[in-house]
Structure formats: structure tokens, C-alpha cells
A and B are shown apart, each in its own frame.
Chain A
Amino acid sequence: MKSFKNHFSLIIALFSILFSIQVFMIVERSIDAYKQNLAKNYTVIVVSQKALSKDDLFGINKLISESDELSAENVIKRLSTGMNKKNVDLLKLSLPKFYKLRLSYYPSSDELKQLRKDLLKHRYITKIEDFSHNHDTTYKLLLLLKGIVSVFSIVVMVVTVLLIFKELKIWQYQHNERMSIMGLFGAASWLRSAVLYRLAIVDALISSALTFVAFTYISSSRWIVEQFEYIGIKVTIFDTLNDFLILLAVSMILSIFLVMLIVLGHKEEV
């Protein structure tokens, strides 16, 4: 029973860490997916006095990935009522050119400012509309969420690592006598602490398996999938192979590292 309690404490602590890591990864993926969505739908409108080639526009800033000239027909139609053909042709010539620019990714506020600056430096470009305000609010909200989740994850990890350390100290106390006795008969350090390593590895495996089960269930939950569909993004909540391997590696490394600290801190008692 006592041994089960010891295992349970370490498994729960490791599970908490793995859970917070996976939540952090989901938030990270959501933000990336949202950024890609933004970049796909986001355009900057540029008004130029003269026609600009694609090369002209691409050379202004590396962010620009596509450019399309907007047709001025609608404007001309609206203004040309009652005009003769000659005047309409003159109007066509005097109207500025409109370009719709797509960006390779959704830029940060600073990058957007720099883009505006670079575009306005061009001698023919007179006006820019970047519609950034609409997108920025949601994006900044997501970044805030990411910040909060990061802080939360770090706090969970620190507190849990301290709890694990305390738990392993209890293990050390329990195993100290046996380790000392083995040392008296010349057992190498790895052999003396083999039980501790074995326990830590088993607990790391169990906690990884629990996290696997939890996130496999969560990722198949209709409600969760719907929430992401509402925001208009598609996110891999749990990649069965890659995520499991990451979580397994984290729990193994963490538990083995903590056992190593305990083993190094062991002092022979005679």
C-alpha cells in the first residue's frame, strides 16, 4: 500500500507535467493555425499613381508574396454616367492603380509598420490600407492566451518538479540503508541505485500512457473538435506517435535526471 502510494504520487506529478506540456503544444498549434488562416485571408491594398510590375512590388519588402491589380471598372462605371467616351478614357487614364498584396505570413505589429514604411517610400505609392485593426484584436488575444498558458505551464512544472524531488527524497530515505549495505560489499553505483531507476522508468511509462489515453479521448471528443471549427481552424490535438514520443521522452528524462540527483546526493552510512 505504501509502495503504491509512492508510485501514485510520482505518476500523478509526472502526469500533471505532461498534461501541461501537451496543452501548451495545443495552444501553440492553434495560434500557428490561426496565423496561417490570417495570412491566407489577409491583404493590404496599395494605391499607386502609376502601374507597378510584380517585380517592383516584390522588391519593396520580403513579406509580399503575391500581388493582383484591382480592376477600376466598377469605379469608372459609377462615375461615367452621362460622360462621353473621350471623357471616360481620360478618366481611366487619370485614375490611380489599385493593388491587392498578399503576405507570406501574418506579420507582427512591428513588421506591419515596417511594411507600410517601405511601401510609402516608393515614389508612386500614395496610400495604403492594411485593415490590421480587425485581425490584430483576435491575434493579440490568442497571444495573450499563449502567454497565460506558458506561465501556467511553467508554474505547474516548477511546483511539480519540487513535489517529485520531495517524493524522491522519501524514496532515497527508504532505499538509503539498502544502498549503503550494497556499497559495503562493493556494488557499483548503478547497481546500488538500480531499483530507484527501475521505479522511475516504470512510473514514467505509466504516466506517459495515462497522458496518451487522456489526450486520445480529448482529441476524439466532438465538443472539442466543434470548438476549433467555430474559430475556423483545424488543429491536431494529439499526434498519436510524435506527441506520445515527446511526452515519453520528457517523462523519462525528467524522472531519470531527478533519480540521478538523488543518487549523486547519496552518502554512505556505516
Chain B
Amino acid sequence: MDKVIIAKDLSLSYSNNETIINKANFSINAGSFVFITGASGSGKSTLLKSLFGALKPKQGSLVVGGVELKGVSNKRLNFLRRHVGIVFQDYKLVKEWNIEKNIMLPLIINGYDKNVAHNQVDKLLQHVRLKHQAGKFPKELSGGEQQRVAMARALSHNPILILADEPTGNLDDYSSQLIWNLLEGASEQLNTTIIVVTHNIPQTMNIDYKHFHIEYGSIHEVV
């Protein structure tokens, strides 16, 4: 099976030089659903940041979607990011754009035809049950609705990989369940690789998943 992510002796640290992840070795197969857990400050989000190149490896090697992220050029990094969908706990929607334009962002960046992009956004709005909110701006939506918009945006360009950082951290149970359903759907129907950083793995997961745990800078798979 193809590997979407391969980490070899991967070490990550911020500018203060404190090592967050120390010589981690792991790989993730294409199409897998992966949870990364760990205590607060253990380095879960740091690891996720490194997977889309927001933090470059200090030592070792990290290959994502065939792109080596150690010393990666901006051009290669942009190329990788165009094939990745990212979901954040704080949604990161563009405030001055309406919902439709927010979802369309990856399609614009990937140079989709306008009509194709509109049709795709239309489908996704229905899928995340926000068709009636298309013209609204993020501040006019609830947290759960905003996260569904972020999910639709992450799915819009059929990415090879979706990275989600605590996607249900700020949501109530109902909204959380909707987000998990959307992630499960993407994994099952589109065979997208999904990596979710979270404190707690939901009890209601209906699909097979892998579980990595981070502790004291090292990553190990929980079997």
C-alpha cells in the first residue's frame, strides 16, 4: 500500500531549540484514518503543523505526499498544500468572505473553472447542510456551522490528505457528531487519508482507524 507520510528520525523544535518531537519514526498508508492523541503540550499540534510544512523538520526526514519537507522550497510546499485540506479548532475562515467564497478558496487556488467550482461548492453546501447559509459571513454562523464550512473547504478540492487539529474542540455534541460523520464519509467514500489530532477519540467511530500517541517527545502506535 502507498505511504502518504513517511517520517524517519524526525525531530521537531521551535526557535527556542527545545525539542518537541525526538527522532520519531512512523509511516501512514494512503486512505487510512489516523488519530494522534497526547496530553496538552505533548506536541500533537506541532507534529500536525510539520505535516503541512508550517514547521520544518530540525533533523531527520519527513516526506508527505512525495514531498520531502526538510529544506523544502516555497514552490514545492505550495504544491503540496494544494493537495491537502486542513481543518483547525478555530476554523480559520476568511471573515470578509461569505461562506460560498470561503469554501471555494482551494478551488480558486487550484485554478478550477468557475462553473465547475460553483457546482462543487453547491454540492458541498448541501452535503454539510448549509445550502441556505451560502451568502452569509462566518460571524453570522454558530461555531458548529463554521466548522462545517471549514470541513467543506477542506474537502472541496478532493485532497489526498486531510489534517484536522482538534476539529471538535469548541463544539457541542451534536455539531461534533456531524463533523465526525463528515470525516468518516470522506475516508470511506473518497478514500482520503485523514489525520486527526484530538484529546479524545470519539466512542461512536464506525470505521477502522489507527491510533498514534505522543508522550515525552516520542510517537508510538497504540494497538
Q: Tell me the A residues contacting B by CB distance below 8 Å.
A: 177-178, 180-189, 191, 268, 270
Tell me if B220 is interfacial: C-beta within 8 Å of chain A: no
A185 to B108, CA, bound (A): 10
Given A178-B95, A182-B105, 5 extra CB contacts under 8 A: A177-B94, A184-B52, A184-B86, A185-B86, A186-B79
Task: Let me know if B190 is at the binding interface, CB within 8 A.
Answer: no
Please give, as numbers and ranges, the residues of chain B lying within 8 Å of A188 by CB-CB distance: 78
Question: Which 6 A-B pairs give the minimum distances between C-beta atoms?
Answer: A186-B81, A186-B82, A186-B78, A270-B54, A187-B109, A185-B106
**Interface residue ranges, B against A (CB under 8 Å):** 49, 52, 54, 74, 77-84, 86, 92-97, 105-106, 109-110
| B-chain residues with CB within 8 Å of residue A191 when the two chains form the complex | 109
Q: Which of B49, B74, B81, B93 contacts A185 (CB 8 A)?
A: B81
Q: Is the CB of A178 within 8 A of B94?
A: yes
CB distance from A195 to the nearest CB of B (A): 10
Residue contact B94 to A181, C-beta cutoff 8 Å: yes
Partner of B105, one of A181, A189, A268, A270: A181
Which residues of chain A have C-beta atoms less than 8 A from B93's C-beta? 181
Contacts A187-B109, A189-B74 given; indicate if A270 touches B80 (C-beta within 8 A).
no
Are B95's CB and A185's CB within 8 A? no
Which residues of A sit under 8 angstroms from B79, Cβ to Cβ?
Answer: 186
Task: Assess the A182–B109 pair: CB atoms within 8 A.
Answer: yes
Q: How far is the CB of B79 from chain A (nearest CB, A)?
A: 7
Bound Cα distance from A177 to B80, whole angstroms: 21
Q: Nearest A residue to B78 by beta-carbon distance?
A: A186
Report the separation of the CA atoms of residues A188 and B110 in the bound assembly, to the nearest whole angstrom: 10
A-side contacts of B77, CB under 8 Å:
186
**Which chain A residues lie closer than 8 Å to B81 at the CB level?**
183-186
Chain B residue numbers with a CB within 8 Å of A182 are 94, 105, 109
Which A residues are in CB contact (< 8 Å) with B106?
185-186
Min CB gap A144→B, angstroms: 52
29 A–B contact pairs at CB < 8 A?
A: A177-B94, A178-B94, A178-B96, A178-B97, A181-B92, A181-B94, A181-B105, A182-B94, A182-B109, A183-B81, A184-B52, A184-B54, A184-B92, A185-B82, A185-B106, A185-B109, A186-B78, A186-B80, A186-B81, A186-B84, A186-B109, A186-B110, A187-B109, A188-B78, A189-B74, A191-B109, A268-B54, A270-B49, A270-B54
A268 to B86, alpha carbons, bound, how many Å?
15
Q: How far apart sit A234 and B143, CA to CA, in the bound complex (Å)? A: 70
The complex places the Cα of A218 from the Cα of B30 at a distance, in Å, of 71
A155 to B97, CA, bound (A): 40
Residue of B nearest to A184 (CB): B86
Query: Is there an interface contact between A187 and B95, defined as CB atoms closer than 8 Å?
Result: no
Bound: A50/B106 CA distance, A: 92
